[in-house]
Amino acid sequence: MEACAKGPSNVSIKSGQSCSTSDCHPTMKKDKFVHGPVATGDCLFCHKQEKKDQHTFQPIKSAEALCYECHDKLTHGSVIHKPVKEGKCTGCHDPHQSANKFQLKGAGPALCFRCHDKNIAGGKFVHGPVAADGCNVCHSPHSANSPKLLMAKGNDVCYSCHSDKKDEFASKKFAHGPVTDGCIQCHSPHSSNFKFNLTAESTQDLCFTCHTDKKDEIAKVTVQHGGLTTDKGCLACHNPHVSSFPQQLDKAPMDLCLSCHDKEYKHANGTTVSNMKVLLEKNASHHGPIAKKDCSACHNTHGSQHARILRGNFLQQFYAPYNPDNFKLCFMCHNDTLVKDPKTTTLTGFRNGDQNLHFVHVNKSPKGRTCKACHDAHATKNPKHITDNVPFGAYQMPVGFVKTKNGGSCLPGCHQEFKYDRDDKVKNR
């Protein structure tokens, strides 16, 4: 039998005889998983001896045809794994024995990485199936009807594990584009250096890979919305997957704003942002956009070139020379002729007969009054959201507004009491 181990010899093997002896092929049948013919010692089931006087064996048929003598053909899918397509079953399977199930030549991803780049699993955060040695949780090793040999199409392969997300996504009215187009737009399916296998470090960087218009817009602003400066970034307001509200908002627009603006904020420059939730609850006369629950009518929700992320100029001081540019925010809704025409019977209810009192107050130089001199932009206890007090330097001047059926009167700290009546013009002193 010594010659047997050295190669060609005059040893002849008959059907039923074993090649696996202590002298010949002594390591055969020693691994945990042994191919059936090897286990039964039936080597000639797969091999034939070309020359009776030489110990030289070849497979009876080509490897592919030989395997299919016993095994089902696994090429039913429209996408076939390259080794299967080329008939190279032994590229992945040892034809004799292995320490791995199905006589695989490697365990889990180690087998796949014999051909595929192992760096796909080199990130700090590794997707569960990859970490648990299970490429075949997502990929079929032989053939499939989905690209990249995936077990299912699109997000369905993800939902096979993340069934909670599938149920959640189906329950909401609005879905983020990647939720319908493909989870892998935001998540790496193998590994990532970022939490949740995201494809970018921060949520903002990730969002900007698609929302380039917002990236450009935010880069140009001088005042960013506070939510964007937190660790949450875009997720301070938006749900990355699904929502019951447009734009993937976490809540209804005003409820979302008030979930943060339910407290007072003091900025480093000394300005204060009021507790809006309390302000609106205590004051029944709401400005139109507030009544419509639309904070974004006046505020740009991402950022602005103006203080308090306003969409246009809104002067904070009491006096200012009249210039239409100073009132751009208000003129987004209100007609600018409101302060241009000295006489009117239609433009405003704030008139004494046909004398336009908005014109009287605003259209002056150098001491025209700003909108803030009389109105609160959010809410007050008075009609037309007229404020109780107006700041004049450190002094809070009372406005003293009283509404009547056809007009009203005011007694602010800046002048004596004046009355007005739309039908019967009042002669004030």
Long-range contacts formed by 4-12: CB under 8 A, 24+ apart: 4/55, 7/55, 7/56, 8/54, 8/55, 8/56, 9/54, 9/55, 10/53, 10/54, 10/55, 11/55, 12/49, 12/52, 12/53
Q: At 289, which amino acid appears?
A: P
Q: Is the pLDDT of residue 254 over 50?
A: yes
* Per-residue confidence (pLDDT) for residue 165, from 0 to 100: 92
For residues 40 and 32, the answer to whether their CB atoms sit within 8 Å is: no
For residues 343 and 354, the answer to whether their CB atoms sit within 8 Å is: yes
* Per-residue confidence (pLDDT) for residue 212, from 0 to 100: 95
Q: Is the pLDDT of residue 397 over 90?
A: no
How far is Cα 342 from Cα 356, in angstroms, rounded to an integer?
A: 5
* Per-residue confidence (pLDDT) for residue 296, from 0 to 100: 96
Q: Which residue, among 209, 92, 65, has the nearest Cα to 149 in the 3D structure?
A: 92
Tell me how far apart the 2 most distant CA atoms of the chain are, in Å: 135
The sign one gets for the Cα dihedral 145, 149, 155, 161 is: positive
Q: Which residue, among 38, 102, 93, 104, has the nearest Cα to 64 in the 3D structure?
A: 93
* Per-residue confidence (pLDDT) for residue 108, from 0 to 100: 83
Encoded tokens for 325: 């540019």
Burial of 349 (0-12, 13-18, 19+ CB in 10 A): middle
How far is Cα 127 from Cα 402, in angstroms, rounded to an integer?
A: 67
Q: Is the pLDDT of residue 419 over 80?
A: yes
Highest averaged pLDDT of the listed ranges 67-81, 303-317, 388-402: 303-317
Encoded tokens for 69: 């003598």
How far is Cα 385 from Cα 376, in angstroms, rounded to an integer?
A: 6
Q: Which residue, among 48, 39, 57, 60, has the nearest Cα to 15 in the 3D structure?
A: 48
Encoded tokens for 299: 């505020």
**Residue count of the chain:** 429
Spans of all domains in the chain? 2-75, 324-421
For residues 312 and 328, the answer to whether their CB atoms sit within 8 Å is: yes
Ranking 65-69, 158-162, 374-378 by mean pLDDT, the lowest is 65-69
* Per-residue confidence (pLDDT) for residue 17, from 0 to 100: 58
Element (H, E) at 288: helix 288-291
* Per-residue confidence (pLDDT) for residue 11, from 0 to 100: 59
How far does Cα 334 stand from its chain's mean position? 36
What is the average pLDDT value for the chain, to the nearest integer? 89
The proportion of the chain whose per-residue pLDDT surpasses 90, expressed as a percent, equals: 68
How far is Cα 77 from Cα 75, in angstroms, rounded to an integer?
A: 6
